[in-house]
Every structure is written in C-alpha cells, then in structure tokens.
Structure 1
Amino acid sequence: MPDAKLIPAHPEPPLLPLPYPLPLTRAGLSGFPSPAQDYEGRTLDLNERLVKRPASTFFMTVTGDSMEAFGIAEGDLLVVDSAIEPRPGHILVASVEGELVVKRYEVLDHRPYLASGNPSYRPIPAADLECQAWGVVRAVIHEYSV
C-alpha cells in the first residue's frame, strides 16, 4: 500500500441522519400498511455509528488482496482509530519499514506478528523490523458495483 492516502475524519462531523427502519413484525393486520411507517422517527448517522473519536479517526482505501479472508478487499474503505491500543486479533494499519500495510496482529510463540488473510503472504515478524502501528481498523465499508 505504498500509495495509500490517509484521510482524517472531520473533527466535528455534521449530523447526517439517514432513514433507519425498525424491523417490525406484523400479525393479524388486514390490508397493506404504508411503507413509510417503518421509517417513522428512527434515523442513523454514519458519523455517529462509525467515528467514535473524530480527532483520532482516519479513512483509507485498501489496495491488494492480502486481507480478503478477513473480509477486506481491494477498494474497500477502512475506518481506522489511532487511539485504540492494539491487541492480538485486531486488524491494524501499520508502517513496516516505511510501507503502510493492513494486517492482523497476532502473537505466535510469544512474538508479535502481522499476519495476512492470504496464505500467499507470510506473517511479518514485527519485532525484527521497523514497525509502528498507526491504528486499529474499526470498520470496513465495501461497495458493490451496480
């Protein structure tokens, strides 16, 4: 990911409430209710849902196929929080020898590794290289081509 572009979250994102229907079960009703009835009074703001700490959150687009087994594909948008302390099992954005990578943080035989979700790529021994975690991936946004 040498050409990765980090896009910081807006420090005070504007509210953008979107319709967020409640899944309602109807029984014993005759006729057809209004489709708009499911949308009454409930909204979802993606900033509120995905950006917990605007000052430490940034976005980046994924290149490559190393994380496909973890549900992260080329072109996906990552929501990354640099204030989260990395723990084993977290998906990280890290700088390894000056190159940005997206990998899963694992501890194998008491040593830290950055692992891919693709068997074609070997785990990276984090202790043996110049490696710095930039943040933990909080969300992956995958768009379908339509």
Structure 2
Amino acid sequence: MRLHDVPFELVPCEVPFFLVHTPAGFPSPAQDDMQEPIDLGAWLVEHPAASYVMRVEGRSMAGAGINDGDLLVVNRAKAPRSGAIVIALVHGERTLKRLRFVEGRHWLIPEAEGFADILVDEHVEIWGTVVGVARKLA
C-alpha cells in the first residue's frame, strides 16, 4: 500500500446540518429540523497544526473500510493505541495498518488477505493516528 501526501489547508466549509438522524429507508418530510451549519474541516481536524491528509493507494486496509483513493485525516497529536489505524514509517516506506498489542509486542496488522503483519521495532516509526476517512460516492 502506498500513501501520497495531499496538499492540506484548513479553510471553513460550512454545510447545512440536520438535527434528526437519517434513516436508511424512506425519509420523512416532517423531519426537516436544522441546526447551525457545521464546518466539516473543523469537525474532522481537531488539531490543525498536528494534522495532515494523505491519499490511499492499495487495498491492504479494505477490511476496515479504507479503499484505494480514499483520503485520510491523520492526527499526530493523538496518541496511537492498540486497535487504532495508524500511518507508520517502516524501513523508510509509509504504510497504513491497524496497531495491535499482542503478547507484549506491538504489531502493524493489515485488514486484507495476502499482506503480512509487521512487528513494531526500531525500524518502525508511527507518524500519526487516522481520525477520518473521506471518499466521494458519486
């Protein structure tokens, strides 16, 4: 899996925000209550100075719902914990994997068949925790 830097500038992007939850079935026209607009950038990026966006290339995290071409919001200020999806530098190459603590050791675990687990050792540096995924559906 390869990751590419995406130019990142946090600019306000307010869109309407509906107070009611949206069912996956037929919508009710009676439920049109709206809150104040929401700024998607501020909602996704809690720490702008410590955050960046990357584009995914590959399929090793497809089981986690992260697909080729998706944009990742990565927060370097958020401490990585077992179970978190992280960006790591392994022997100079960036990779996207789930961090797991197993039998006293940290591992980077892919979420697709055909990819190997990676032991976190002195050749691995965690670059940040993934806090958001974005993709266009249409």
Instruction: Give the TM-score, by structure 1 length.
Output: 0.80
What do the CA deviations read for 1:5-58 (whole angstroms, capped 9, x no partner)?
324643xx333221112228xxxxxxx76x9x634x521101110000000000
Q: Quick one: percent identity of the two aligned structures?
A: 32
Count residues in correspondence. Answer: 131
Find 1:119's aligned residue among 113, 124, 130: 113
1:91 is the counterpart of 2:85: yes
Structure with more of its chain in strand, by fraction: 2
What do the CA deviations read for 1:60-86 (whole angstroms, capped 9, x no partner)?
000111001111010110000011111
Find 2:19's aligned residue among 10, 19, 22: 22
Find 2:64's aligned residue among 58, 64, 70: 70
- Provide the residue aligned with 1:105 in structure 2: 99
8 Å Cα contact 2:106/2:120 also seen in 1: yes
State the one-letter code of the partner of 1:14.
Answer: V
Unaligned runs of 5+ in 1: 25-31
Structure with more of its chain in helix, by fraction: 1
Please give the root-mean-square deviation of Cα atoms over the aligned residues, in Å.
2.1
Q: Which runs of 4+ in 1 moved over 4 A?
A: none
Unaligned runs of 5+ in 2: 22-28
Cα pair distance change 1:5/1:124, threshold 3 Å = same
- Provide the residue aligned with 1:45 in structure 2: 39
Rounded Cα–Cα distance in structure 1 between residues aligned with 2:44 and 2:8 = 10
State the one-letter code of the partner of 1:130.
Answer: H
Instruction: Give the TM-score, by structure 2 length.
Output: 0.84
Rounded Cα–Cα distance in structure 1 between residues aligned with 2:79 and 2:20 = 35
Greater radius of gyration (CA): 1
